[in-house]
C-alpha cells in the first residue's frame, strides 16, 4: 500500500544532494512520457526555489539520431562516459521488456552505482535495473502489466505489485508512467526537504502525495456518480481528520449504506475506510511535524490520532521512524534537539 511507498530510509538534514548531476538515459524507441517526466522534474530550471538545483543531461549508448515513440527524433545526447560523474541516473522506461539491455549499458550502470550514483527507473525501466543484478534480494515495482514477467525473469527480486514506488536507498523503482512523478517528488523531498518538493508539485499541478497503490488502477472503475460521491467524501474527511470520524460518518456523508460504502470505497481507493483514515491521519501528523512547533501531544490531537502513544504506534508502522526523529530531520530547526518520542 501507499504507506510502504512512503517508508523510505530518512536522509540527513535535506540541504540538496551531494552530487547534483542527474543523467537520463535515452535509447532508440525512447518512451517519451517517461523521459518528459524526468526532464520536467530534474531538468527544468527553478530559480524561484532559491537552491542549487540539479544539473540535468541526457546520455545514450546509441548513435544519434534516436527514434522515439511517436515518430520524433532525438539528437544531442552525450556519451556513456557521462555516467561516471553522475549522482543520479534515470531509466525512463525501456523500449522492449523482452529485449535485454546491452552489456555496455549494464556495466556502465554497475560502475556508476559502485561510484555512488543512485539508479531510478520509471515503469518498464525496471527491466534494465534488474539486468544489472542490483535488485537481487531487494524489493521493486513496475507497471501492473509487467509484474508477472518481472517475477518470472528475475525471481531473486521481491516484486511488489501493490505500491507506486520503492526506495531502496540507492536503487529506486516506480510503477506506471505517472508513478515516476511520485517517485521523482519523493527523491526531491529526500534531497531538498518537503517544502521544495511541495513547490515543485504545485508548479506541476499534481498532488505532492497520492493515496492508494496500483490496485486502484487494476480493478474495475466505479460508476461515475459513485466516484463523485466517494471523491467528495474523501475531501470532506480530509477536512475533518481531527474529529472522531467513523465509517458510519463517511457513509452518511456519501448517502450510502455502510456496506455499500465500504465496498465502493475499496473499489475506488484499494483500501478500507479505516485504513485510509489511519494513513491520512499519519500524513496529517507528518505535515504538522514539518511545518509547526506543536508538541507531539498536540499533533496527535490535531491529526485525529488522539494520544502521543497512538501517534507513535501508527507513525512507526507507516513511516518506519518515530515522530521526534522525523521532526529532527524534516521539521523546524528549533525542534531538532527535542526529546525522543
What DSSP string runs through 268-305?
Answer: HHSS-HHHHHHHHHHHHHHHHHHH----HHHHHHHHT-
- Residue-by-residue pLDDT tens, the chain, 341 positions: 333 444 333 334 456 788 999 999 999 989 999 999 999 999 999 999 999 999 999 999 887 788 888 778 888 788 888 898 999 999 999 988 888 999 999 999 999 999 999 999 999 999 999 999 999 999 999 998 999 999 999 999 999 987 889 999 899 999 988 899 999 999 998 899 888 988 898 888 887 766 555 543 443 333 334 457 888 898 899 999 999 999 999 999 999 999 999 998 888 877 889 989 998 899 899 889 888 899 999 999 999 999 999 999 998 888 778 898 888 766 654 343 333 33
**The C-alpha cell that represents 35 in the structure block:** 523521459
Cα angle at 241 between 188 and 5, to 5 degrees? 30
- Contacting residues for 309 by C-beta, under 8 A, at least 6 apart: none
Query: Phi/psi of residue 200, each to 5°?
Result: -65, -45
- Determine the Cα–Cα distance for residues 250 and 257; give it in Å rounded to an integer: 10
Class of domain 2-204 as given by CATH? alpha beta
Which numeric CATH code is attached to 275-335?
1.10.10.60
**The C-alpha cell that represents 12 in the structure block:** 540527513
Cell 518506519 -> residue:
320
- Determine the Cα–Cα distance for residues 324 and 28; give it in Å rounded to an integer: 48
Amino acid at each position: 500500500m501507499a504507506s510502504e511507498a512512503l517508508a523510505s530510509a530518512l536522509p540527513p538534514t535535506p540541504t540538496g544532494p551531494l552530487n547534483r548531476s542527474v543523467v537520463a538515459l535515452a535509447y532508440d524507441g525512447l518512451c517519451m512520457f517517461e523521459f518528459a517526466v524526468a526532464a520536467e522534474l530534474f531538468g527544468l530550471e527553478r530559480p524561484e526555489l532559491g537552491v542549487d538545483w540539479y544539473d540535468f543531461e541526457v546520455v545514450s549508448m546509441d548513435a544519434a539520431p534516436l527514434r522515439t515513440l511517436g515518430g520524433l527524433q532525438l539528437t544531442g545526447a552525450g556519451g556513456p562516459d557521462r555516467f561516471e560523474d553522475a549522482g543520479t541516473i534515470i531509466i525512463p522506461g525501456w523500449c522492449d521488456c523482452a529485449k535485454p539491455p546491452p552489456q555496455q549499458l549494464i556495466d556502465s550502470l554497475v560502475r556508476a552505482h559502485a561510484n555512488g550514483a543512485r539508479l531510478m527507473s520509471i515503469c518498464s525501466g525496471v527491466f534494465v535495473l534488474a539486468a544489472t543484478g542490483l535488485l537481487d534480494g531487494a524489493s521493486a515495482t513496475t507497471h501492473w502489466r509487467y509484474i508477472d514477467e518481472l517475477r518470472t525473469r528475475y525471481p531473486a527480486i521481491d516484486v511488489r505489485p501493490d505500491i507506486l514506488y520503492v526506495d531502496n536507498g540507492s536503487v529506486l523503482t516506480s510503477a506506471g508512467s505517472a508513478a515516476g512523478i511520485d517517485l521523482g517528488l519523493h527523491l526531491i523531498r529526500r534531497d531538498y526537504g518537503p517544502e521544495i518538493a511541495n513547490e515543485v508539485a504545485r508548479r506541476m499541478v499534481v498532488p505532492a502525495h497520492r493515496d492508494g497503490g496500483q490496485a486502484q488502477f487494476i480493478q474495475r472503475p466505479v460508476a461515475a456518480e459513485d466516484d463523485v460521491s466517494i471523491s467528495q467524501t474523501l475531501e470532506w474527511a480530509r477536512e475533518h481528520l481531527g474529529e472522531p470520524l467513523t465509517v458510519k460518518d463517511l457513509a452518511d456523508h456519501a448517502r450510502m449504506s455502510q456496506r455499500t460504502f465500504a465496498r465502493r470505497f475499496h473499489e475506488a481507493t484499494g483500501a478500507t475506510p479505516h485504513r485510509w483514515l489511519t494513513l491520512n491521519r499519519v500524513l496529517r501528523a507528518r505535515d504538522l511535524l514539518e511545518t509547526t512547533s506543536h508538541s507531539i501531544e498536540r499533533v496527535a490531537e490535531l491529526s485525529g490520532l488522539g494520544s502521543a502513544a497512538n501517534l507513535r504506534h501508527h507513525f512507526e508502522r507507516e513511516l518506519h521512524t518515530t515522530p521526534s526523529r522525523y521532526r529532527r530531520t524534516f521539521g523546524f530547526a528549533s525542534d531538532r534537539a527535542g526529546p525522543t518520542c
